[in-house]
C-alpha cells in the first residue's frame, strides 16, 4: 500500500507536475474535468427527468416491432451472448475468470435493482448473462472437435443468418416493423459484414493483372465515393423502384435495399483501405511465397492478405464506426424507418415530453457510444493479440 | 562436392531486359547435380537477375533454361512444381512476419504438397535442429537475430525437399558476427551433396565450398573456372580488378 502511494506519487509528479507549464495545464484540465463531471452528475442524478426514456424505452430500442414477437429478439440476444462467452475466453489475454465467478452476484443485484421495473425483462437479461456464462465455460472446442479460432469464425459467421432465421421463422416480423436501436444494429452488422467481404473483393480486383477486372473495380469504387451516402439512400428508396419492372418494384424489400446500399457504400471505402494495406506488403513476401511453390491464390490468401489486413485494422475499425453512426442517415433520407435517432424524435414529439431534448439525446448518445467504444476496444485487443500495439 | 555427371541446370544464351536495358546479355551455364557454384561480380552485373530466372521470379526474354529436365517457357503448366524443387534464400530473409518460425517452415509443405498440418510441423523440427535453433520454433521472426532469421529461411526452403538451392547474397544483410553461423549451415548443406548456386562475396566460404566460380560483369559471364584458377591466375582484367577489390 505504501509503495503504491509512493509509486503513484512519482507518476503524478513525472506526468503532471514536472514543470511550471505542466502544473498550469494539469490544473486547468483537472478543473475542467471536475466541472464537467460535476454538472453532468447534477443533471443525470438530480435535474433530469428520465420518465421520457422510461416510458419510451420500447420505442427507442425496438421501434414498431410487435410485442408478441419480442421472443425472436431475445433468442437472438441469447445466441449472441453465448457466442460472446465462447469468444471472450479466447481473445482475452488477461485472467478475467473472476469476473465470471462473481456473475451470480451480478444476477442477484440485477434482480434486486430490477432496472427496468419489469421482472420479466430482468429475468430475460439474467438469462442472457447465463448464456454468456455457459459460452464461457463450455469446452466448446472439445465438443465440436474444432480448434478455437475455427470455432469462433464459424460461430460468428452463422450468427447473422441465424438471427435472420429467428426473426423470420414461423411467420416472422416484416422488415418494415423493424425499428429503434435494434434496426441500427442490424443495418450496421449487415453493412460491416458485406461491406468487408465485397471491399476485400474490390481491393483484390483493383490490384488484378486483368485490365477488365482492374478497371471495373476502380470504376465502381470511384462512382460510389463520388456521392454521399444520403444520395445513395435516396437512390435506393426513390430511383430503384422506378428502374425495376413493375412486378419487382414492390417486391424488393426496402430494408433489403437499404442494407445493400450501406454494404455497397462501405465496400468502396473498405476496398481503398485494404488496397493501402496490400501496397504495404513487401514484394519480397510475394517472391518468397512463390519461390516456395505456392500459387497465386495461396500467396494472396495466406501471405499477403493477413499482413495487409493487420496493417489497416485501425482504419478498418474507423470505417466500421463511421458506418455505425451513418445508420442514422436512413432517417435523413426520409425512409419509412424509425431507427434510434428517429424514434427519439418521435418520443420528443409526444405532448408531455416536449422539450426534453437533453434526456433523450443523452440516452441515445450513450447507446451509440457503447457500440462505438466496444468496437474500438475490440480492435485494440485484436491488435494486441497480434503484437501490433503497445499502448491503448 | 559429390558431383555427378548429370546436368541439372542448363542455361543457354539467356537474355533479360528491363525496358530497353539488358540486365542479362546472353548467359550460358551448366550446373551438374551436387555441384556448388559461386557467382561473383560487381553490383548491378546481373547476378540476382540470373539466379532469379532459374525459378522464374524473373521471366527471361530470350534463350533457353532447362531445370531438372523441364524447359522453362511460357507453355509450362506447373511452374509451382518446378519452383518447389528449387529453394531460394534471399538477402533480406523474407520470412513471413505474421507466422511463427515453425509455421513459416511448415506452411509451404502443407499447402503445396497437401499434407496435414501435424505432418508438416513434424518436418519443421528436424530442420530447425539441422540449422541449430530448435528452441526458437514458437517465436515470431521479429524476435530472432538476423543470423537466426536467415537460418530459418534456409530451413524453410529445405522443407520443400528441393533438388537445387539458390542463395542470393545470404549474408550481405547480416552483422559481421552472425555471418559465420549462416555460412556454417551452408557448408554443411554443400557437404551433404545439395546442388547450390550461391551469389556471395564471402571468399572464405567460396574457396572452401565451391566447385566452380563464375564471374559476371555488365550482364555477361566474363570468366569461369575452379576456385584454384580464380585465386592463382585469373585471365580477364575485369576479374583481376574485382578480386583485388574484394580480397
Ligand atoms: N525489376 C527491375 N527493373 C528494372 N531494372 C532492374 C530490375 N531488376 C534489376 N534491374 C537492373 O538490372 C541490373 C542487374 O541487376 P541485378 O541482377 O540485381 O544485379 P546484381 O545482383 O548483380 O547486383 C541492374 O542494373 C539493375 O538496376
Ligand atoms: Mg543482387
Compare A329 and A247 and report the one with higher pLDDT.
A329
**Mean pLDDT, range A369-392, rounded to an integer:** 72
Ligand 1: centre distance to CA B93 (Å): 19
CA nearest B166 in A: which residue?
A291
Strands B86-89 and B164-168: parallel
Q: What pLDDT is attached to residue B195?
A: 95
Can you spell out the DSSP letters for A105-126?
HHHHHHHHH-TTS-HHHHHHHH
**Mean pLDDT, range A366-382, rounded to an integer:** 86
Can you spell out the DSSP letters for B15-81?
EEEETTEEEEEEEEEEEETT-EEEEE--TTSSHHHHHHHHTTSS--SEEEEEETTEE-STT-S-HHH
Give how far Cα A164 sits from Cα of A157, A158, A221, A262, B181, Å: 12, 10, 29, 18, 59
Which residues on chain A are in Cβ contact (under 8 Å) with B112? Answer: 292-294, 298
**Mean pLDDT, range B167-195, rounded to an integer:** 93
Tell me, what CATH number does A216's domain have?
1.10.3720.10
C-alpha distance from B237 to closest chain A C-alpha (Å): 35
**Is B183 within 8 Å of B193 (Cβ atoms)?**
no
Residue that is written with C-alpha cell 441465424 in the block: A162
Residues 6+ apart with CB under 8 A from B143: B136
Report whether residue B20 contacts ligand 1, using a CB cutoff of 6 Å: no
Compare A252 and A93 and report the one with higher pLDDT.
A252
Which H helix or E strand runs over A63? Answer: none
Which residues on chain A are in Cβ contact (under 8 Å) with B111? Answer: 294, 298, 302
Coil, helix or strand for A311?
A: helix
Is residue B37 scored above 70 in pLDDT?
A: yes
On the 0-12 / 13-18 / 19+ scale of CB atoms within 10 A, B2 is exposed
Q: What pLDDT is attached to residue A7?
A: 62
Which of A163-167, B68-72, B215-219 shows the lowest per-residue confidence on average (mean pLDDT)? Answer: A163-167
The pLDDT mean for chain A works out to: 81
Report whether residue B44 contacts ligand 1, using a CB cutoff of 6 Å: yes
CB atoms within 10 A of CB B132: 16
Distance between CA atoms of B163 and B165, rounded to whole angstroms?
A: 7
Distance between CA atoms of B152 and B145, rounded to whole angstroms?
A: 11
Ligand 1: centre distance to CA B14 (Å): 15
Which of A8-12, A34-38, B180-184, B209-213 shows the lowest per-residue confidence on average (mean pLDDT)? Answer: A8-12
Partner-chain contact A307 B97, CB within 8 Å:
yes
Q: Which of A36-50, A230-244, A258-272 has the highest mean pLDDT?
A: A258-272
Residue A352 DSSP label? G
**Which of B18, B54, B92, B214 for mutating ligand 1's site (highest number of atoms within 8 Å of CB)?**
B18
Distance between CA atoms of A74 and A78, rounded to whole angstroms?
A: 6
CA nearest A386 in B: which residue?
B98
Ligand with the closest atom to the CA of B221? 1
Q: What pLDDT is attached to residue B40?
A: 93
**Mean pLDDT, range B170-179, rounded to an integer:** 92
**Which of B49, B50, B214, B220 for mutating ligand 1's site (highest number of atoms within 8 Å of CB)?**
B49
C-alpha cell at A93: 489475454
Q: What pLDDT is attached to residue A158?
A: 86
Compare A63 and B135 and report the one with higher pLDDT.
B135
Domain-located, residue A284: yes
Compare A175 and A389 and report the one with higher pLDDT.
A175
Report whether residue B16 contacts ligand 1, using a CB cutoff of 6 Å: no
Is residue A170 scored above 80 in pLDDT?
A: no
Q: What pLDDT is attached to residue A363?
A: 85
Domain-located, residue A269: yes
Task: Select from A284, A291, A305, A306 the residue whose CB has the most chain B CBs within 10 Å, as the one to mutate to test that interface.
Answer: A291
Task: Select from B58, B79, B90, B97 the residue whose CB has the most chain A CBs within 10 Å, as the one to mutate to test that interface.
Answer: B97
Closest residue to B81, CB basis, from A288, A293, A307:
A293
Report whether residue B48 contacts ligand 1, using a CB cutoff of 6 Å: yes
Domain-located, residue A245: yes
CB atoms within 10 A of CB B194: 20
Domain-located, residue A352: yes
C-alpha distance from B180 to closest chain A C-alpha (Å): 23
Which of A211-225, A241-255, B130-144 shows the lowest per-residue confidence on average (mean pLDDT)? Answer: A241-255
Distance between CA atoms of B178 and A380, rounded to whole angstroms?
A: 36
Q: What pLDDT is attached to residue A335?
A: 57
Give how far Cα A38 sits from Cα of A45, A360, A365, B236, Å: 11, 20, 19, 87
A94-133 per-position pLDDT tens digit? 555 555 666 667 677 766 666 666 777 777 887 888 888 8
Which residues on chain B are in Cβ contact (under 8 Å) with A285? Answer: 94, 96
Q: What pLDDT is attached to residue A251?
A: 62
Beta bridge partners of B70: B67
Query: Range of A196's domain?
Result: 173-392
Domain-located, residue A102: no
Report whether residue B9 contacts ligand 1, using a CB cutoff of 6 Å: no
Which residues on chain B are in Cβ contact (under 8 Å) with A287? Answer: 57, 90, 94
Ligand 2: centre distance to CA B69 (Å): 27
Which of A14-18, A83-87, A263-267, A282-286 shows the lowest per-residue confidence on average (mean pLDDT)? Answer: A14-18
Which residues on chain B are in Cβ contact (under 8 Å) with A306? Answer: 98
**Mean pLDDT, range A344-369, rounded to an integer:** 81
The number of C-alpha atoms within 13 Å of B191 and in the hemisphere containing its C-beta is 8
B225-247 per-position pLDDT tens digit? 999 998 888 888 889 999 888 87
Percent over 90 (pLDDT), chain A: 25
pLDDT tier for residue A387 given thresholds of 50, 70 and 90: low
Considering only CA atoms, which of A120, A125, A97 is closest in space to residue A109?
A125
| A contact residues 289-328, partner B, Cβ 8 Å cutoff | 289-295, 298, 302-303, 306-307, 310
pLDDT tier for residue B56 given thresholds of 50, 70 and 90: very high
Domain-located, residue A358: yes
Partner-chain contact A293 B160, CB within 8 Å:
yes
Q: What pLDDT is attached to residue A249?
A: 57
Domain-located, residue A266: yes
**Mean pLDDT, range A309-318, rounded to an integer:** 90
Give how far Cα A14 sits from Cα of A23, A25, A26, A139, Å: 11, 14, 12, 46
Q: What pLDDT is attached to residue B3?
A: 57
| B contact residues 147-206, partner A, Cβ 8 Å cutoff | 153, 156-157, 160
Coil, helix or strand for B100?
A: coil
**Mean pLDDT, range A364-387, rounded to an integer:** 82
Q: What pLDDT is attached to residue B45?
A: 94
- Count: domains in chain A: 1
pTM: 0.81
Compare B152 and A112 and report the one with higher pLDDT.
B152
**Mean pLDDT, range A368-379, rounded to an integer:** 87
pLDDT tier for residue A1 given thresholds of 50, 70 and 90: very low
Q: What pLDDT is attached to residue A112?
A: 67
For the question of an ipTM over 0.85, the answer is: yes
Percent over 70 (pLDDT), chain A: 84
Domain-located, residue A144: no
Q: Is A245 on the interface with B (CB under 8 A)?
A: no
Ligand with the closest atom to the CA of B53? 1
Q: What pLDDT is attached to residue A32?
A: 93
Q: What length is written for chain B?
A: 247
Partner-chain contact B111 A282, CB within 8 Å:
no
Is residue A265 scored above 90 in pLDDT?
A: yes
C-alpha distance from B128 to closest chain A C-alpha (Å): 17
Distance between CA atoms of B153 and B170, rounded to whole angstroms?
A: 10
Percent over 90 (pLDDT), chain B: 79
Is residue A390 scored above 50 in pLDDT?
A: no
Amino acid at each position: 500500500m505504501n509503495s503504491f502511494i509512493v509509486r503513484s506519487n512519482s507518476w503524478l509528479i513525472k506526468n503532471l507536475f514536472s514543470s511550471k507549464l505542466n502544473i498550469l495545464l494539469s490544473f486547468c484540465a483537472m478543473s475542467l474535468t471536475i466541472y464537467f463531471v460535476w454538472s453532468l452528475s447534477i443533471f443525470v442524478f438530480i435535474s433530469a427527468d428520465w420518465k421520457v426514456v422510461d416510458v419510451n424505452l420500447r420505442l427507442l430500442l425496438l421501434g414498431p416491432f410487435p410485442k408478441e414477437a419480442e421472443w425472436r429478439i431475445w433468442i437472438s440476444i441469447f445466441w449472441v451472448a453465448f457466442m460472446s462467452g465462447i469468444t471472450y475466453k479466447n481473445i482475452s489475454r488477461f485472467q478475467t475468470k473472476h469476473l465470471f465467478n462473481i456473475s451470480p452476484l451480478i444476477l442477484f443485484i440485477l434482480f434486486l435493482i430490477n432496472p427496468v421495473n419489469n421482472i420479466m425483462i430482468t429475468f430475460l437479461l439474467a438469462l442472457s448473462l447465463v448464456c454468456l456464462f455457459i459460452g464461457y465455460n463450455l469446452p466448446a472446442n472439445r465438443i465440436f472437435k474444432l480448434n478455437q479460432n475455427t470455432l469462433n469464425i464459424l460461430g460468428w459467421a452463422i450468427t447473422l443468418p441465424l438471427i435472420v432465421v429467428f426473426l423470420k421463422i414461423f411467420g416472422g416480423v416484416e422488415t418494415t416493423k423493424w425499428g429503434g436501436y435494434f434496426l441500427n444494429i442490424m443495418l450496421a452488422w449487415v453493412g460491416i459484414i458485406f461491406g468487408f467481404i465485397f471491399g476485400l473483393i474490390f481491393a483484390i480486383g483493383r490490384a488484378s493483372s486483368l485490365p477488365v477486372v482492374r478497371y471495373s473495380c476502380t470504376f465502381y469504387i470511384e462512382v460510389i465515393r463520388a456521392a454521399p451516402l444520403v444520395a445513395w439512400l435516396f437512390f435506393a428508396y426513390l430511383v430503384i423502384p422506378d428502374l425495376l419492372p413493375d412486378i419487382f418494384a414492390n417486391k424488393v424489400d426496402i430494408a433489403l435495399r437499404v442494407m445493400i446500399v450501406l454494404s455497397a457504400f462501405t465496400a468502396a471505402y473498405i476496398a481503398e483501405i485494404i488496397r493501402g494495406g496490400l501496397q504495404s506488403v513487401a514484394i519480397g513476401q510475394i517472391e518468397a511465397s512463390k519461390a516456395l511453390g505456392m500459387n497465386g491464390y495461396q500467396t494472396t490468401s495466406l501471405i499477403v492478405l493477413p499482413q495487409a489486413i493487420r496493417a489497416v485494422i485501425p482504419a478498418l475499425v474507423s470505417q466500421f464506426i463511421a458506418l455505425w453512426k451513418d445508420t442514422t442517415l436512413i432517417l435523413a433520407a426520409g425512409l419509412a424507418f424509425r431507427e434510434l435517432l428517429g424514434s427519439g424524435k418521435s418520443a420528443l414529439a409526444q405532448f408531455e415530453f416536449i422539450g426534453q431534448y437533453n434526456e433523450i439525446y443523452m440516452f441515445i448518445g450513450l447507446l451509440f457510444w457503447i457500440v462505438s467504444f466496444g468496437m474500438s476496444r475490440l480492435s485494440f485487443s485484436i491488435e494486441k493479440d497480434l503484437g501490433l500495439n503497445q499502448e491503448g | 562436392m559429390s558431383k555427378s555427371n548429370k546436368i541439372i541446370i542448363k542455361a543457354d544464351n539467356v537474355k533479360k531486359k528491363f525496358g530497353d536495358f539488358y540486365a542479362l546479355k546472353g548467359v550460358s551455364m551448366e550446373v551438374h547435380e551436387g555441384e556448388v557454384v559461386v557467382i561473383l561480380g560487381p553490383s548491378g552485373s546481373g547476378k540476382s537477375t540470373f539466379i532469379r530466372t532459374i525459378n522464374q521470379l524473373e521471366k527471361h526474354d530470350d534463350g533457353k533454361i532447362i531445370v531438372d529436365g523441364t524447359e522453362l517457357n511460357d507453355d509450362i503448366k506447373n511452374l509451382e512444381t518446378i519452383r518447389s524443387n528449387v529453394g531460394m534464400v534471399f538477402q533480406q530473409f523474407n520470412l513471413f512476419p505474421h507466422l511463427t518460425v515453425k509455421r513459416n517452415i511448415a506452411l509451404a509443405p502443407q499447402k503445396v504438397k497437401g499434407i496435414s498440418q501435424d505432418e508438416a510441423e513434424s518436418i519443421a523440427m528436424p530442420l530447425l535442429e539441422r540449422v541449430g535453433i530448435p528452441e526458437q520454433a514458437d517465436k515470431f521472426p521479429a524476435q530472432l537475430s538476423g543470423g537466426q532469421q536467415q537460418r530459418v529461411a534456409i530451413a524453410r526452403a529445405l522443407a520443400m525437399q528441393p533438388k537445387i538451392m539458390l542463395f542470393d547474397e545470404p549474408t550481405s544483410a547480416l552483422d559481421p558476427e552472425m555471418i559465420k553461423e549462416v555460412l556454417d549451415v551452408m557448408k554443411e548443406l554443400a557437404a551433404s551433396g545439395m546442388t547450390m548456386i550461391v551469389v556471395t562475396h564471402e571468399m572464405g566460404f567460396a574457396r572452401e565450398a565451391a566447385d566452380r566460380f563464375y564471374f559476371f560483369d555488365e550482364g555477361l559471364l566474363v570468366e569461369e573456372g575452379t576456385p584454384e584458377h580464380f585465386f592463382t591466375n585469373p585471365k580477364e582484367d575485369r576479374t583481376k580488378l574485382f578480386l583485388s577489390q574484394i580480397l
